Structure 1
Amino acid sequence: MTWQQYLSSEELRGIQEIRQTLANSIPADLDTDFNLARWWRAYHGDVKKIAEVIPMYDASRRAAGFVGDNFIERYFELPSIKPYLPFIASSRLYDKAWSENRSAFLFVEKAWSQPKEFIKVLKTSDYLLHCFGYSEYLMQLILRKEKQIKRPVRVITIFDLGEMSVSDYLNPLSPYFKLWKLRSDIWQDWYPDMVQKIIIVNPPRLVGTLWGLVKLFLNEHNRSLLMIVSSHREIEKYIDSHLIPVAYGGKFKENDPITDDSCCSKRKKITPADYYQNNEHYMKKLGERPPTKHHDFAPATKLAVGVNVSEGQSLLWDFYVNSEVEFSIRLVRKDESDLLIFPKLKLVTSKLREEGIIEKPLPGEYIFDFTNTSNYFHAKMDYCFVAA
């Protein structure tokens, strides 16, 4: 088959419309027919929405450092990723687990085993940057493979719930549930139609409860990708037998000492010594935390706070908010559009305040942008943004 034969005439028209609307501003790596067709399908042909989302997605991945020809090879060494890998059990199979029959890569992940401790180790932004980065990693594998084989490629995910307690997620307002929702938003908004199947293994006994929770944050299409299995033979319906990891009744094994029989990295048990310590960036630069400011958000309102950074200074911040907000940081530029320097992410704070530091950025005015994502509820935020 030629590459055009994998796409319908409607999809081809949609691809052309996306290109015309974005006026040649689509990044080269994303500007492929197969990739734009994914966006067209997932957004149901809403080109106006696609034209809003793609530029912000691209600006955010650049702000996070998730770009470059060697991004795949250096991903696990990135300073925003490497420190947290010991606490997350997921596969690092690169392109070795490839199904020619299904035109898909394999990805394996285990649910958190210590959710109450997990949120004391990673700030929400730390975890979401990991999820964002891994999604980009998989997308770049897909784009690279599609260029080679001239046909659409997706990812098949095995998601192991063996160490998960459903009781931790029964409350939709719990910090663990909110993190899963925010993570799913990134995947559904910025990586549409990337997944072929999500195979749930070792499901909890309360499967009905689990299904009800999933419906709260996955759209209809992505819910249809979920397949709950209980045996090796059921897994074979969705993935080639030679790719099923040993832990799930197959023979596939990664010859790497950091992985187990599930092909996931071995997870470190969290202890109090691993807990994240807030305010250390202030102690390093200022010796103390500056005074707190406060802001009350009305529903669906925004806040923009500017900080001027001089030559040699660093940009420091922290905030605590009682509801979900969308957050980003940008550098004001006079002769061109502002430059995003911290990706636009939806965030919540629970055990840990959100905080960060950018060491010696370009001098200029930096804007901290917030949006209350709720159309119904107010939000309260304490914050501190300084240059030092």
Structure 2
Amino acid sequence: MTAAVQDSNAIKVSKNSTKQKSSLFDQGTKDSLTEKQVCGISKLRTLLASELASNPKYGDDFSLLRWLNGHNYDFEIIVPKFKHALDVLRMYQADKYDLTSIEKVSEAVLSFGQQWHYYPGGIMGFDRSGNVIVMQPLGKADSRGLIKSGKISCFYESMIIDAEGTANLLRLNESKYGKKLGIIIMVDLADFKMDVIYMPALKIFGNLLLQLQDLFPDMVKEINIINCPSVIAVIFGLISSFLSKQTKEKITFFGSDWKTKLFDKLGDENILEHWGGKARIANSGTGLVRMGGEIPDELLYKNCEHYGDKELSKLIVKPKNTEIVTFKVRKPETKVKWWFTCEGGEILFKIIKHTEKNEEVVWPKIRITTEFVPEFNEIIFNTPATYSLSFENDSNFFWNRTIKYSIEIEE
């Protein structure tokens, strides 16, 4: 009860605050970089020379500065996390998408399926300084429908591509204007109903937030929450555990005067008509922002590829243990298909390639729940080797995870 009261009081203070939080987000030109920043950027560029040689767009001063700011110049943390971020983007084939405009980023997200039209969010435009404005009308989210409309891995992948698209527009504007910019997130809770707070969906969304903060540090300049319902303290209390300290410090809760305060700063010409501004994109007052809404029944997942128990293998993963399913790829262009469910809770899943010297992750580790939709996918492997499906039970000290799976190899 004490914690709830403290959260509520904190929100009341923030709600009426117009204080700028510029100290939480460096925003300057290359000429204004401090000696510490210049030295840090130079050292990080040297440590990541091999990775940046093949991924030069991530090696500009401002991109590297974000990693330094996000992890307090701790190079032992930054270097492996940076490499992991590049690996995830490579495994999700981010380079195959054209992410050079708001329209192209929207197309990339919607390419994952019709259900993504109902996931609220999207890029609104740019403010007067060139910062990217993202709008998330979460009050209209159909939380129950969303997690029943597709597999969790597809949700993560699409949102990571969405975030990479937003980050790419940010990099393009930084190159254009010659200064460090950021993402301004507007969260609209208009029409909020308690059904939005569906705990299984909230946990999945929270895990996504953790992953995005890990992959894209120091991208967010500010988070402005508008049309707050009376239960905002409850909502914030539920999601705050998934937010880093830096992210929490960038949040402002606005009262009914949010238009006056935000329009003066962002420019009403950059705010879409639906939110009281003058902008239109794609001849629409909501632009390319996905507005949410109830997902139609025909878009909910239906198990067309049903497996009977006799067709599935079974694996028990004990608490704090990892089990693997090993398979061999003997020829290039071999297709491997997998399908599994997990009983008992979440499981950390990834695919590993085994070599004589080490192990290489070829499918990123993600936290999966199959309570509503089984996990399934396929990959074309071009390198003959031994591979493994890896199932890690890290989230519970007492309960086993039961994996029922099928794996098919098509040479």
Shorter chain as denominator, the TM-score bin is: 0.7 to 0.9
Query: After superposition, where does 1:214-253 map in structure 2 within 5 Å?
Result: 214-229=239-254, 230-231=256-257, 232-236=259-263, 238-253=265-280
Percent identical among aligned pairs is: 19
- Equivalent residue number for residue 4 of structure 1: 30
Q: What secondary structure, in the 3-state scheme, does the structure 1 residue paired with 2:57 have? A: coil
Contact 1:319 1:353 in 2 (8 A): yes
The equivalent position to 1:325 in structure 2, one of 347, 350, 357, is 347
Q: 1:72/1:343 Cα in 2 relative to 1: closer, same or farther (>3 Å)?
A: farther
Matches of 2:291 and 2:196 in 1, distance apart? Answer: 22
The equivalent position to 1:34 in structure 2, one of 62, 81, 92, is 62
- Equivalent residue number for residue 276 of structure 1: 301
Q: 1:387/1:255 Cα in 2 relative to 1: closer, same or farther (>3 Å)?
A: closer
Contact 2:272 2:285 in 1 (8 A): no
Matches of 1:202 and 1:361 in 2, distance apart? Answer: 51
CA RMSD of aligned residues (A): 3.0
Q: What secondary structure, in the 3-state scheme, does the structure 1 residue paired with 2:230 have? A: coil
- Equivalent residue number for residue 22 of structure 1: 48
Task: Please state if 1:147 is matched with 2:175.
Answer: yes
Contact 1:315 1:357 in 2 (8 A): yes
Q: 1:279/1:273 Cα in 2 relative to 1: closer, same or farther (>3 Å)?
A: closer
Q: Give the counterpart letter for 1:120 in structure 2.
A: K
Task: Please state if 1:197 is matched with 2:222.
Answer: yes
The equivalent position to 1:356 in structure 2, one of 359, 366, 377, is 377
Contact 2:141 2:293 in 1 (8 A): no
Matches of 1:126 and 1:308 in 2, distance apart? Answer: 25
Query: After superposition, where does 1:26-175 map in structure 2 within 5 Å?
Result: 26=52, 27-67=55-95, 70-72=98-100, 75=105, 76-77=107-108, 81-92=112-123, 97-101=125-129, 103-111=130-138, 113-166=141-194, 168-169=196-197, 174-175=199-200
Contact 1:108 1:263 in 2 (8 A): no
Paired residues in the alignment total: 373
Matches of 1:79 and 1:383 in 2, distance apart? Answer: 31
Measured against aligned partners, the alpha-carbon deviations of 1:229-256 in whole angstroms (never above 9, x if no partner) come to 2331132355222212222222222234
Q: What secondary structure, in the 3-state scheme, does the structure 2 residue paired with 1:17 have? A: helix
Matches of 1:148 and 1:56 in 2, distance apart? Answer: 28
Q: Give the counterpart letter for 1:134 in structure 2.
A: D
Q: 1:306/1:163 Cα in 2 relative to 1: closer, same or farther (>3 Å)?
A: farther
TM-score normalised over the length of structure 1: 0.84
Matches of 2:41 and 2:400 in 1, distance apart? Answer: 40
Task: Please state if 1:309 is matched with 2:329.
Answer: yes
Q: Give the counterpart letter for 2:120 in structure 1.
A: A
Measured against aligned partners, the alpha-carbon deviations of 1:188-219 in whole angstroms (never above 9, x if no partner) come to 10111111111212222211112212321111
Q: Give the counterpart letter for 2:88 in structure 1.
A: S
Q: Give the counterpart letter for 1:55 in structure 2.
A: K
- Equivalent residue number for residue 14 of structure 2: none
Q: 1:36/1:337 Cα in 2 relative to 1: closer, same or farther (>3 Å)?
A: farther
Q: CA deviation at 1:304?
A: 3.1
Contact 1:316 1:357 in 2 (8 A): yes
Pick which of 13-22 and 71-80 moved more. 71-80
Matches of 1:277 and 1:6 in 2, distance apart? Answer: 56
Matches of 1:147 and 1:289 in 2, distance apart? Answer: 58
Q: Give the counterpart letter for 1:325 in structure 2.
A: I
Contact 2:353 2:360 in 1 (8 A): yes
Contact 1:199 1:226 in 2 (8 A): yes
- Equivalent residue number for residue 23 of structure 2: none
Q: CA deviation at 1:227?
A: 1.8
Q: 1:168/1:87 Cα in 2 relative to 1: closer, same or farther (>3 Å)?
A: closer
Q: CA deviation at 1:379?
A: 4.3
Pick which of 5-14 and 36-45 moved more. 5-14
Pick which of 317-326 and 148-157 moved more. 317-326
Q: 1:59/1:279 Cα in 2 relative to 1: closer, same or farther (>3 Å)?
A: farther
Matches of 1:19 and 1:118 in 2, distance apart? Answer: 40
Q: What secondary structure, in the 3-state scheme, does the structure 2 residue paired with 1:314 have? A: strand
Matches of 2:58 and 2:226 in 1, distance apart? Answer: 32
The answer to which structure has the higher helix fraction is 2
Q: What secondary structure, in the 3-state scheme, does the structure 1 residue paired with 2:149 have? A: coil
Matches of 1:246 and 1:355 in 2, distance apart? Answer: 41
